[in-house]
């Protein structure tokens, strides 16, 4: 009885699936879209923070911060990062204070209670460039510039994606994909858009932010501020903003794994020891 | 386990073998114990103040608008701090008290910065059980000794915020502070 | 517990004797996971995953309680409170990554544990109750995992909550009001987040309770074993302590090593980048997927693409998704073969290795892939096999299969001979 019942239930589900399958096979069509044809995987990017022994290159982080401050911060917030956090980039207390002072953060007039702005202090978070989403939308052709704090964790291949996007703008009229195909005219970005094959729908609202060598003036002894170099540096900086504890995590990992290996080997020997009399075959 | 090891090694029969085998078992259990203890470190220290709380533990206050005889309440580490501009009379009253009469002997000089005897900066936290004493705000009772008065259990502090009467054991605590300029005090 | 040769608890210290009279917890422990519990001596390493699962539950509860000390269940601050944990709380990043990856580890371990049960028919009499309680634990784990994934209030959290509660919307008549009742609103918001947090905190302790019952029920007949032959004599068993404490102990070390390798060096490997974007009710991610441990069932849900007679495809999918787990409850009565272990069932073994396992792997893969061809057709084929396997093949196989000869006893399986077997034959 149980057997017949179960077979009936089984037939119900399998019949339903078979029906879906037949309809599916009849209409079978591999997905196809211009986005799929033209969307490119991010370029390779190697950062010193990569890998199990990865460490931040503090000079690079400072350069990346400079790029953020002078270019990106015009439109993009960094709301999860406080000025005090910048000490991890190798700035001393006075430098952190000076950086904070350079930013105007929202404040309240202590005498009148009116909303105003004041120079930042170390415990302040990076201020948002727009008062709210509506203002951000209005100033940017209806596209809100996303917050950058977690950007490299919020996208597949995070830092490589940021780097590719910044250096990947192309002219839709002359661009050819890997198969040598030109972009169909109807897929050209609208007047307010910008063609970028590293962006999922190929049409990015952000105009190319890094356009010329020396757009950001790096200090003595730094590499030449080419567009490529600035893009790398800001990608590295955003790895840090997304996970300031990355270095500590990796550094903690090794002793933990080392200890576990040691303890597991001891445990294995003890296990062999305990079972010594039970494992013998006659 | 010791028993086990003995029956395990009839062929060696040597005491050395027994000890070596015991040693491995004990070492394995000890390693597990050490690992367990090490794990406690993050589990316990996560409850200590976090980085943002510690970072906010210094605060700068503008004192230019406090007239002699006035006091303000400011916030320091989520607790009130009293900044009081003492009048010459209050200073004199504080200095007139012999140390032997005090429960927690301290001079006004010890409780203020050199040359700034009139700036009395103390935590607004009663040393009895942590209530906020009255006396900093305009029109608040200042107690029998003209300083601060804690309404919870009736502790009275004098014009140097020293405990004079009531259950509190100590003077109001003077936080670490410095004058970064003539009109700005950095507490913490 | 019921084996006459089991060691008896004999406290020697006067305090322990006093304790034994007043509150015999040490005796309970001794008989449950101590020298007083005889265990088949031939258990292979697949039998270590129950203990590992228990360790996972422990990790989740400890790290979870800690995270709850810093987390705030309010739509306005939930996302930021998680980032506060990651950035500012002492060792907060470790706690949070351990909890997120601990959930994945728990499911890895539990899937091995369940499929060990499938292969060795651990669900069969006299262990039906152990199995049923196990399926209840699995369902509770899924609920807890889902609720927990909503808490960080990222994009996947939000849309996961919306889609999963949307499943209840498929139920005829009561669907929509039921969904609104579950969410306390028309879409996931503070009300939903707060109750999800409350339930996410509650359910693990319910799981602990059912785990106690699961282990209790296990101790009535004793553990099964790879031969499926029941324990006959003392020589078939070894006491749990020290033998299986030692074995579980060192395999726990291996487990922790792998777990920590992921935790410290690839903690976001199993997560989805979209969950680092704060929840936004106005924009859906391009490709909504649940956590990896739901993928097989998500694939089954999506496999129904057209209405089946008068039953809408959506309802069909929801029924199949829940049915695909509920069917496990009936396993003890679907598989009637007198032989337990798949090692002695030639036909069953073929269906297990060349049917069920590949189907599960395909479902895993397709559940995480976008809802487009060829994944839809592949998941339809795999889901078809899945239902056929449990509801049609298993009952029929047990009717037609001729099992291979079983060893006389566990002792014979281990040592190659058993004195008692000769006596039995002579008799």
Distance CA(C283)–CA(C165), nearest Å, equals: 18
* Residue whose tokens read 């994944």: C375
- Average pLDDT (C309-319) is 90
Q: Is C141 left (phi over 0), alpha (psi -120 to 50) or beta?
A: alpha
What's the token pair of residue B68? 């002699």
The pLDDT confidence band at residue B5, using thresholds 50, 70 and 90, is very low
Q: Are A245 and C210 in contact (CB under 8 A)?
A: no
Q: Is C74 left (phi over 0), alpha (psi -120 to 50) or beta?
A: beta
The pLDDT confidence band at residue B14, using thresholds 50, 70 and 90, is very low
Contact flag B42-C69 (C-beta cutoff 8 Å) = no
Residue of C nearest to B41 (CA): C91
What's the token pair of residue B111? 């409780």
At B9 the pLDDT is: 40
Distance CA(B7)–CA(A271), nearest Å, equals: 16
Residue of B nearest to C85 (CA): B50
Distance CA(C247)–CA(C236), nearest Å, equals: 17
Contact flag C91-B42 (C-beta cutoff 8 Å) = yes
- Average pLDDT (C239-262) is 96
Q: In the beta sheet, which residues pair with residue B71? A: B84
Contact flag A267-B7 (C-beta cutoff 8 Å) = no
Active-site residue numbers of B?
153
Distance CA(C177)–CA(C189), nearest Å, equals: 16
Q: Are A153 and A239 in contact (CB under 8 A)?
A: no
Contact flag B46-C92 (C-beta cutoff 8 Å) = yes
Q: In the beta sheet, which residues pair with residue C239? A: C38
Residue C22 is a catalytic residue: no
- Express each pLDDT in A13-53 by its tens digit: 999 999 999 998 888 888 888 888 888 899 999 999 999 99
At C426 the pLDDT is: 60
* Predicted TM-score (pTM) of this structure: 0.92
Contact flag C250-A264 (C-beta cutoff 8 Å) = yes
Q: Of chain A residues 86-145, which have a CB less than 8 A from chain C?
A: none
At B160 the pLDDT is: 92
Q: What percent of chain B is modeled with pLDDT above 70?
A: 89
Q: Of chain B residues 80-99, which have a CB less than 8 A from chain A?
A: none
B26 CB within 8 Å of a chain C CB: no
What ipTM was assigned to the predicted interfaces of this complex? 0.93
Non-local CB neighbours of B9 within 8 Å, separated by 6+ positions = B17, B18, B21
Non-local CB neighbours of A261 within 8 Å, separated by 6+ positions = C257
Position A155 in a domain:
yes
Distance CA(A7)–CA(A94), nearest Å, equals: 77
Chain centroid offset of residue C402 CA: 31
Q: In A, which residues are within 8 Å of B24 by CB distance? A: 266, 269-270, 273
Q: Closest approach of chain B CAs to the CA of A58, in angstroms? A: 21
Distance CA(C93)–CA(C86), nearest Å, equals: 4
Q: Closest approach of chain A CAs to the CA of C206, in angstroms? A: 31
At A279 the pLDDT is: 66
Residue of C nearest to B47 (CA): C90
Q: What percent of chain B is modeled with pLDDT above 90?
A: 53
Position A134 in a domain:
no
C264 CB within 8 Å of a chain B CB: no
Q: Is the pLDDT reported for residue B56 higher than 90?
A: no
| Range C35-426 classified under CATH 3.40.50.280 | no
- Average pLDDT (C25-48) is 94
Residue C104 belongs to what H/E stretch?
A: helix C92-119
Q: In A, which residues are within 8 Å of B25 by CB distance? A: 270, 273-274
Q: What φ, ψ does residue C119 adopt, rounded to 5°?
A: -70, -45
The pLDDT confidence band at residue C71, using thresholds 50, 70 and 90, is very high
What's the token pair of residue A64? 């990346």
Contact flag A266-B21 (C-beta cutoff 8 Å) = no
The pLDDT confidence band at residue B54, using thresholds 50, 70 and 90, is confident
Q: Of chain B residues 103-142, which have a CB less than 8 A from chain C?
A: none
At C355 the pLDDT is: 96
The pLDDT confidence band at residue B3, using thresholds 50, 70 and 90, is very low
Report the DSSP pairing between strands A203-204 and A194-195. antiparallel
At C64 the pLDDT is: 97
Q: What percent of chain C is modeled with pLDDT above 90?
A: 84
Using alpha carbons, select from B32, B35, A250 the residue that is nearest to residue C261. A250
A182 CB within 8 Å of a chain C CB: no
Cα dihedral C88→C90→C92→C95 (10° resolution): 180
At C417 the pLDDT is: 81
Q: Is the pLDDT reported for residue A280 higher than 60?
A: no
Residue C70 is a catalytic residue: no
On average, the pLDDT of chain C sits at: 93
* Residue whose tokens read 């395909």: C362
Distance CA(B132)–CA(B149), nearest Å, equals: 9
- Average pLDDT (A122-140) is 92
Non-local CB neighbours of C355 within 8 Å, separated by 6+ positions = C385, C389, C393
On average, the pLDDT of chain B sits at: 86
Non-local CB neighbours of C243 within 8 Å, separated by 6+ positions = A274, A275, A278, C39, C41
Q: Give CA separation, C192 vs C76, C174, C196, C319, in Å.
A: 13, 19, 6, 24
Which candidate in C84, C219, C232, C314 is catalytic?
A: C219
Position A5 in a domain:
no
Q: Are A97 and A123 in contact (CB under 8 A)?
A: no
Non-local CB neighbours of A175 within 8 Å, separated by 6+ positions = A182, A183, A195, A197
Q: In the beta sheet, which residues pair with residue A120? A: none
Q: Hey, how many other C-beta atoms are within 10 angstroms of the C-beta on A71?
A: 18
Q: In the beta sheet, which residues pair with residue C272? A: none
Distance CA(A14)–CA(A10), nearest Å, equals: 6
- Any idea what the CATH number is for the domain that residue A225 is in? 1.10.760.10
- Express each pLDDT in C321-360 by its tens digit: 999 999 999 999 999 899 999 999 999 999 999 999 999 9
At B17 the pLDDT is: 56
Non-local CB neighbours of A66 within 8 Å, separated by 6+ positions = A216, A218, A233
Contact flag A274-B38 (C-beta cutoff 8 Å) = no
Q: Residues C280-283: contacts with CB within 8 Å, 24+ apart?
A: C280/C155, C280/C158, C281/C158, C281/C187, C281/C188
Q: Is the pLDDT reported for residue C44 higher than 60?
A: yes
Q: Is the pLDDT reported for residue A1 higher than 80?
A: no
What's the token pair of residue A99? 């950086």
Helix, strand, coil abundance in chain B, percent, nearest 5: 30, 20, 45
Residue A150 is part of which domain span? 34-57+64-77+146-248
Cis check: omega of the bond before C374, within 30 degrees of 0: yes
3-state secondary structure of A236: helix
Split into its structural domains, chain A has a count of 1
B64 CB within 8 Å of a chain C CB: no
The pLDDT confidence band at residue B12, using thresholds 50, 70 and 90, is very low
Q: Closest approach of chain C CAs to the CA of B147, in angstroms? A: 39
Q: Where are the domains of chain C?
A: 35-426
- Express each pLDDT in C150-167 by its tens digit: 999 999 999 999 999 988
The pLDDT confidence band at residue B45, using thresholds 50, 70 and 90, is very high
Residue C219 is a catalytic residue: yes
Contact flag C91-B45 (C-beta cutoff 8 Å) = yes
Report the DSSP pairing between strands B71-76 and B79-85. antiparallel
Burial C254-275 (b: 16+ CB within 10 A, else e): bbbbebbebbbbebbebbbbbb
| Strand spans (E) along A41-195 | 104-108, 115-119, 194-195
Distance CA(C349)–CA(A150), nearest Å, equals: 48
Using alpha carbons, select from C122, C130, C323 the residue that is nearest to residue C217. C130
Using alpha carbons, select from B152, B151, B147, B187 the residue that is nearest to residue B171. B147
- Express each pLDDT in B120-148 by its tens digit: 999 999 999 999 999 988 888 888 898 99
Longest alpha-carbon distance in chain A? 93
Sequence length of chain B is 188
The pLDDT confidence band at residue B16, using thresholds 50, 70 and 90, is low
Q: Is the pLDDT reported for residue A282 higher than 50?
A: no
Q: What φ, ψ does residue A41 adopt, rounded to 5°?
A: -65, 150
Non-local CB neighbours of C427 within 8 Å, separated by 6+ positions = none
Distance CA(C402)–CA(C41), nearest Å, equals: 27
Chain centroid offset of residue B159 CA: 22
3-state secondary structure of C199: helix
Distance CA(C404)–CA(B28), nearest Å, equals: 41
Q: Are C389 and C156 in contact (CB under 8 A)?
A: no
What's the token pair of residue C363? 């479902």
Using alpha carbons, select from B97, B89, B143, B141 the residue that is nearest to residue B118. B89
Q: Is the pLDDT reported for residue C133 higher than 50?
A: yes
Residue of C nearest to B1 (CA): C242
On average, the pLDDT of chain A sits at: 91
At B10 the pLDDT is: 41
Integer Rg of chain C from CA: 24
Window from A188-192, B28-32, B173-177, C56-60 with minimum mean pLDDT: A188-192
At B11 the pLDDT is: 43
At B188 the pLDDT is: 80
């Amino acid at each position: 009885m149980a057997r017949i019942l179960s077979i009936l239930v089984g037939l119900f589900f399998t019949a339903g699936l078979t029906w879906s399958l037949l309809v599916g096979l009849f209409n079978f069509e591999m997905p196809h879209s211009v986005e799929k044809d033209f969307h490119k995987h991010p370029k390779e990017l190697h950062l010193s923070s990569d890998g199990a022994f990865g460490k931040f290159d503090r000079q690079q982080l400072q350069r990346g911060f400079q790029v953020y401050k002078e270019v990106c911060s015009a439109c993009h917030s960094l709301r999860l990062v406080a000025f005090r956090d910048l000490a991890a980039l190798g700035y001393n207390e006075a430098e952190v204070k000076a950086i904070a002072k350079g930013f105007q953060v929202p404040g309240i007039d202590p005498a009148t209670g009116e909303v105003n702005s004041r120079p930042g202090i170390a415990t302040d978070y990076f201020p948002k460039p727009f008062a709210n989403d509506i203002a951000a939308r209005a100033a940017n052709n209806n596209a809100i510039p996303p917050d950058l704090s977690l950007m490299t964790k919020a996208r597949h291949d995070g830092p490589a994606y940021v780097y590719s996007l910044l250096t990947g703008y192309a002219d839709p009229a002359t661009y050819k994909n890997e198969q040598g195909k030109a972009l169909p005219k109807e897929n050209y970005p609208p007047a307010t858009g910008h063609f970028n094959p590293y962006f999922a729908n190929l049409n990015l609202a952000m105009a190319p932010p890094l356009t010329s060598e020396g757009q950001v003036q790096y200090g003595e002894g730094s590499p030449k501020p080419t567009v490529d170099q600035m893009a790398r540096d800001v990608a590295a900086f955003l790895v840090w903003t997304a996970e300031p504890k990355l270095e500590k995590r990796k550094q903690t990992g090794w002793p933990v794994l080392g200890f576990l290996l040691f303890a597991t080997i001891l445990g294995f020997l003890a296990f062999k020891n305990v079972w010594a009399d039970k494992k013998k075959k006659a | 386990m010791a028993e086990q090891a003995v029956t395990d090694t009839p062929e060696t029969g040597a005491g050395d073998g027994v000890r070596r085998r015991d040693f491995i078992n004990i070492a394995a259990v000890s390693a597990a114990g050490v690992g367990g203890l090490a794990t406690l470190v993050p589990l316990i220290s996560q409850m200590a103040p976090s980085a943002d709380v510690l970072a906010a533990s210094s605060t700068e206050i503008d004192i230019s608008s406090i007239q002699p005889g006035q006091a303000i309440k400011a916030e320091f580490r989520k607790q009130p701090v009293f900044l009081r501009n003492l009048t010459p009379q209050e200073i004199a009253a504080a200095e007139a008290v012999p140390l032997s009469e005090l429960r927690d002997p301290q001079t006004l000089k010890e409780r203020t910065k050199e040359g700034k005897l009139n700036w009395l900066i103390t935590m607004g936290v009663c040393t009895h059980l942590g209530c906020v004493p009255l006396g900093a705000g305009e029109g608040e009772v200042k107690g029998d000794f003209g300083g601060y008065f804690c309404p919870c259990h009736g502790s009275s502090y004098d014009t140097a915020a020293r405990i004079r009467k009531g259950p509190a054991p100590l003077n109001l605590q003077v936080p670490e502070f410095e004058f970064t300029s003539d009109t700005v005090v950095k507490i913490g | 517990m019921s084996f006459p040769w089991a060691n008896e608890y004999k406290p020697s210290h006067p305090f322990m004797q006093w304790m034994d009279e007043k509150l015999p917890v040490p005796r309970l422990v001794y008989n449950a996971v101590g020298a007083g519990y005889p265990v088949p001596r031939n258990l292979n390493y697949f039998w270590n995953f129950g203990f590992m699962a228990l360790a996972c539950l422990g990790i989740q509860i400890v790290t979870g309680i800690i995270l709850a000390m810093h987390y705030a269940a309010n739509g306005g601050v939930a996302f930021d409170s998680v980032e506060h944990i990651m950035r500012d709380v002492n060792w907060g990043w470790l706690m949070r990554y351990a909890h997120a990856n601990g959930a994945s580890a728990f499911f890895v371990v539990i899937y091995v544990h369940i499929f060990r049960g499938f292969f060795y028919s651990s669900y069969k009499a006299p262990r039906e109750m152990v199995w049923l309680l196990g399926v209840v634990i699995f369902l509770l784990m899924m609920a807890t995992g889902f609720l927990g994934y909503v808490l960080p209030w990222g994009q996947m959290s939000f849309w996961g909550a919306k889609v999963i509660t949307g499943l209840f919307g498929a139920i005829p008549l009561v669907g929509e009001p039921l969904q609104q009742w579950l969410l306390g609103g028309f879409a996931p918001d503070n009300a939903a987040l707060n109750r999800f947090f409350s339930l996410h905190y509650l359910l693990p302790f319910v799981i602990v309770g059912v785990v106690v019952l699961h282990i209790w029920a296990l101790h009535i007949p004793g553990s099964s074993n790879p031969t499926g032959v029941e324990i006959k004599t003392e020589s078939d068993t070894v006491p749990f302590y020290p033998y299986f404490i030692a074995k579980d102990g060192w395999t726990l070390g291996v487990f922790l090593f792998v777990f920590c390798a992921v935790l410290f060096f690839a903690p976001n490997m199993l997560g989805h980048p979209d969950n680092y974007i704060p929840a936004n009710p106005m924009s859906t991610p391009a490709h909504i997927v649940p956590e990896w441990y739901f993928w097989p069932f998500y694939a089954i849900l999506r496999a129904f693409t057209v209405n089946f007679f008068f039953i809408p495809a959506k309802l069909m999918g929801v029924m199949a998704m829940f049915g695909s787990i509920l069917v496990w409850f009936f396993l003890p009565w679907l598989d009637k073969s007198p032989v337990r272990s798949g090692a002695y069932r030639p036909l069953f073994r073929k269906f297990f290795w060349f049917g069920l396992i590949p189907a599960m792997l395909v479902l895993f893969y397709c559940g995480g892939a976008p809802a487009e061809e060829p994944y839809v057709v592949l998941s339809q084929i795999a889901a078809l096999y899945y239902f056929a396997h449990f509801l049609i093949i298993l009952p029929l196989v047990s009717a037609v299969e001729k099992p291979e000869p079983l060893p006389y006893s566990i002792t014979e399986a281990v040592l190659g001979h058993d004195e008692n077997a000769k006596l039995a034959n002579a008799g």
